[in-house]
Each structure stands twice: as structure tokens, then as C-alpha cells.
Amino acid sequence: MKEKNKIKWFYYITLIAAAVLLFVLMYKAPFRRDDLAWGSERGIQRLRNGFRGYNGRYIGNLIVLVLTRLPLALTVTIEMLVMGVGLWNVWLIFKKSKILLMIFCSLALLAPHAMFNQTILWVAGFSNFVVSAVFVFYFFRICLELMENKEIEHKAWMGRVILVFLGQLILETGSIYMIFLFLFTGIYIYFQEKKVPSYLIAYFVSACGGAALMFLNSSYRAAVSGNGDTYKKINISGSFGELIRSWWEKYAMDIFPNWIENIPLINLVLIACIFLLCFWSRSRIAKIIQFLGILFASWIIFNIQNPRWNSLIPHGEYLNAAVGVAWIIYIFTAVIIQNTTLSGKRTLIFIVGSQLFVTGPLIIADPLNERCFFQNYLLWVLLICSMMREIQMKISERELPENVKTRLELVPNFLMIGTLCVMMASQFMSWRVEAIRKMEIKKCREEKSESLVLPNNPSGNVYCFGDNTSNSNREWVNKYKMYYDIPDEVELTFIEYNAYIDMKKEEKK
């Protein structure tokens, strides 16, 4: 009993430490609130225009306007509470398993650096991508419960109809996905029960209504036609052959890298989970799945060790992307053949299917960046944890020594501690570069220099217009000048971090 109490307290202390560290990271992040866009008169002007010609994320835009005008500590506190609601839904999806919740948190915090900074650490990204993910996970859980024949209270579903409508006005991919979510839940229940609950029909109608309101915004018509002042582009014009060719190029160059290639850790953990699930099966196809898993693991490790190999051979990017298609087919097949519980298999298939419906609309959208794949990343983590739940159930069927069970319960805590260390290390360079930039800006003002050279962040593209910026992107450079009060007449240039360090060494000589 004492041992279990110690583990319980260790769990809570680790979770609190993670929350405190995340609060600090969110509070200290450079260029965090994008005050010169949403927090300025520019944001108010968008509101006065009803966001016409900008986008249909009406609720998401309103959230940004509010959060950029609150004290920073209050903004971060609200964001932490929103993420808490999302984790509460994850906890319920996993049947209140603290171990799986800890694993989910750990893997979610290990998101690629640019994705993490563009969603968790940037207010505008948070308001659209994280808030939308919370809505999606909430109704994902509701649909799973409906498929398990759980009754819903009358008052609850009426309020949820309104929530569905509001949730559709946050993010385009989330809006499209929610329609398919309710549609396929209704189809599944109809084949099981030969009827569809009226409240599920109400959810579907509300989802369609919200999506219609979003996409009636003039920015989307301009994005399709290519006319008008909009940052968006929707690629659905041209002959069938031209569309297929451009969509495949879009997948190979933009979607595949962010959806699959840039998350090798997640891919390797997925293979390990599939391998373990197949371990209890004696069928020949399970052995084939394990063998293919070894081949895919080899491919992932080869990509890690040779990140530029595909640029050294003709059409190497397309070859790599084709392997990515095989990877998705592999995961879907591995999920279908698993000898798991009915609810477990249903959840796994539902998550993999959700990946396809969240990713599908991106094939016609432009521009794409890392934050567009935040929901995909969370779905991968959800898939891993769902597989671990099935593995956990299989292990519990076997008698294990008490000390072994105790040690297994400690693993997620140590995983979270490792995650916190990685987070600190990954953000340290961003803080260091920010400190160097502020020092150089201060020196430039004091000496009244006509030029200013600042280092790029070696951690990669991280914020709205990129913490790394092309010097040709004068809009971003001018915005940076305004944000840090750099005189207009100063010629501002960004160079690679290593080049900056070498330049400083030469100056000392």
C-alpha cells in the first residue's frame, strides 16, 4: 500500500512539474503574442470588416483578439485551462487511465519544435489549432460513446448542438472532419441499430451549418479563383491530369514531410506497439506485419541518418513519399488484423480513418506549414496510446509479480521527466538567440548604426512568419523592426547562427 501511495504522489508531482514548466515556456516565448497583427488596430479593423476577405474562422479570430489584449499571465492561464479540458477528454477516452494520460502528455509535448512553437507558444496558432483540437477530441469521445450504446441526456445534447456550430468556426480542416465524424458515426449506428438517434442528426446538421457559414466567407472564393487580396489558395482548377500531378507534388513536398517524415520517434513507437500487439497472435499475417514493421523501421532509421539522400537522386522526394503511402496502408492493415477487443479495434480504426479525413483537405490548400499538422500529430499520439491500452489489457491477463507491475507504472513518470529535459534543451537555443538579438538591437540604438545583423534560430522555422526569415521577405523584416522598435532607416539582415558566431570571432580579432 505504501509503495502504491508513493507512485501516486510521484505521478502528481511529475504532472505538476510539467504544468509549471509549460507555463514558463509559454510565458517566456519570444514574439509570443503577435501584438502588431491581432493585438493592434490591424486586428480591430479585421473585426470591423466582419473578417470579410480574411477567413471564416470567426470564433478563432475572436479568441485571438481577446487573448492578445489580456495580461500575458492571464492569457497563458486561460490557454493552460483549455489544454486541461482537452486532456480531460483524452483521460475519458482511455477510461480514466493515469498511465496512458501521462504517456499521451509526454509524446504530445515532444511535437516537432516548429509545430510546438507555432501552436502551443503562439497565441494566434493556439486559438485556431489547439482550440480546434480540443473540440475535435471532445466530439471524437462523444462519438465513441455513442457507438458503445451509451445514452446521452436530453439537456446535454441540446447544448452540444450549439458547441458543434461554434466549433465549426475555428479551423477549416477541423470543420470538414467534424462533418465526416458525425456522418460515419451515424452510418455505423444505423448498421448496428437500424436507426439513427435524433441528436446525432442534429449534430450533423449543426456541423454542416457551421461549415457553410465558414466557407461562405469571400476569402475562400478568392482563393479558388486566384483573385482578390487573400493569403490563401485553393487548388481545384485545371484538367484532371494537371490536378492529379499538382496534388501528388503537394503531397510529396509539403504533406508527407510534416505528416510522416518529420516525426520519426512517433513512427518507431508505432511500429513497436504494432509488433507487441502481433506478438500474441499466431497467424501468418501477424508475422508478415512484424516483418514489414522491421523494414519500415529500417527505412525510418535510414532517413534519420541520411536526411538528404532523396535530394541526391532523380525524383527522390517522390520515391520517399510513395513509401509514405505504403506506410499508411501498413498501419491501416495492422490495425484491422489485430486480435483486440471490439471497442479497441473500433477505436483504432476510427483514429486511423480520422487521420485520412483530417489530412485530405490539405491536398488542395496553400500555404501549408508545420502547425497545419498539429491535429494529425495528436491523432498519431492517440493511436499509440490506444494501442498501449490494448497491450496493457493483454498483459493484465497474465500473472505478473507485484514488483514488476510497480516498475511498469513508474515508466510513464520517467518518460515525462525525460520529455521535460528535452523541452528545456530544445527551447534553450531559442532563448539564447532571442537574448543575442536584444543585445544587438540595444547596441544598434546606442551606437546609431545604419545596419544591423541578427542571427537566425538554428532550431528552425518557429513563429507566424518564421523566426527564421528570408531577407527578401520585407513584410516580415519590417514587422520585426516595428515589434522591437528598430529605426526604419536601419538595414536589417538575418544570417545563419554559425555564420553570426564566426563573424563575432572575426570582430574580436
Q: What digits encode the pLDDT tens for the residues 122-172?
A: 888 899 999 999 999 999 999 988 888 766 655 677 889 999 999 999 999
| Domain-terminating residue out of 383, 398, 413 | 398
How far does CA 72 lie from the centroid of its chain? 23
Provide the sign of the torsion angle of the four alpha carbons 258, 263, 269, 272, taken in this order. positive
Q: How does pLDDT run across 80-111, given as a tens digit for each residue?
A: 999 999 999 999 999 888 889 999 999 999 99
Q: What does the block give as the cell for 226? A: 486566384
- Alpha-carbon distance of 385 to 377, in angstroms, equals 13
Confirm whether 1 is domain-assigned. Answer: no
Residue 399, pLDDT score: 61
Task: Count Cβ atoms below 10 Å from residue 204 Cβ, excluding itself.
Answer: 20
Dihedrals phi, psi of 98, to nearest 5 degrees = -70, -35
**Does residue 435 share a domain with residue 365?**
no
**Does residue 132 share a domain with residue 63?**
yes
- Alpha-carbon distance of 364 to 87, in angstroms, equals 31
Q: How does pLDDT run across 357-397, given as a tens digit for each residue?
A: 999 999 998 888 889 999 999 999 999 999 998 888 877 76
**Does residue 498 share a domain with residue 392?**
no
**Does residue 380 share a domain with residue 438?**
no
| Domain-terminating residue out of 377, 398, 419 | 398
Confirm whether 354 is domain-assigned. Answer: yes
Confirm whether 73 is domain-assigned. Answer: yes
**Is-contact 179 204, C-beta < 8 A?**
yes
**Does residue 129 share a domain with residue 199?**
yes
- State the first-to-last Cα distance of the chain, in angstroms, to the nearest integer: 66
Q: DSSP states of 315-330 as a string?
A: THHHHHHHHHHHHHHH
Confirm whether 17 is domain-assigned. Answer: no
Provide the 3-class DSSP secondary structure of residue 40: coil
**Does residue 382 share a domain with residue 260?**
yes
Provide the 3-class DSSP secondary structure of residue 234: strand
Residue 331, pLDDT score: 94
Q: How does pLDDT run across 480-505, given as a tens digit for each residue?
A: 787 778 888 888 888 888 888 888 88
Confirm whether 9 is domain-assigned. Answer: no
Q: What does the block give as the cell for 75? A: 492569457
In the 8-state DSSP scheme, what is residue 298?
A: H
Residue 468, pLDDT score: 44
**Does residue 462 share a domain with residue 333?**
no
Range of the domain at 475: 428-508
Side chain identity at residue 188, one-letter code:
Y
User: Does residue 281 come out as left (phi exceeding 0), alpha (psi in the -120 to 50 range) or beta?
Assistant: beta
**Does residue 346 share a domain with residue 437?**
no
- Alpha-carbon distance of 167 to 130, in angstroms, equals 12
Confirm whether 8 is domain-assigned. Answer: no
Residue 404, pLDDT score: 65
Residue 153, pLDDT score: 59
**Does residue 432 share a domain with residue 390?**
no
Question: Based on the structure, what is the number of domains in the chain?
Answer: 2
Confirm whether 45 is domain-assigned. Answer: yes
Confidence (pTM): 0.91
Question: Can you count the helices (H) and strands (E) in the chain?
Answer: 22, 4
Rg (CA), the chain: 24
**Does residue 493 share a domain with residue 346?**
no
**Is-contact 246 202, C-beta < 8 A?**
no
**Does residue 479 share a domain with residue 390?**
no
Confirm whether 406 is domain-assigned. Answer: no
**Does residue 377 share a domain with residue 463?**
no
- Which stretches of the chain score pLDDT less than 70? 1-4, 31-37, 39-40, 150-155, 227-230, 310-312, 397-407, 458-476, 509
**Is-contact 219 230, C-beta < 8 A?**
yes
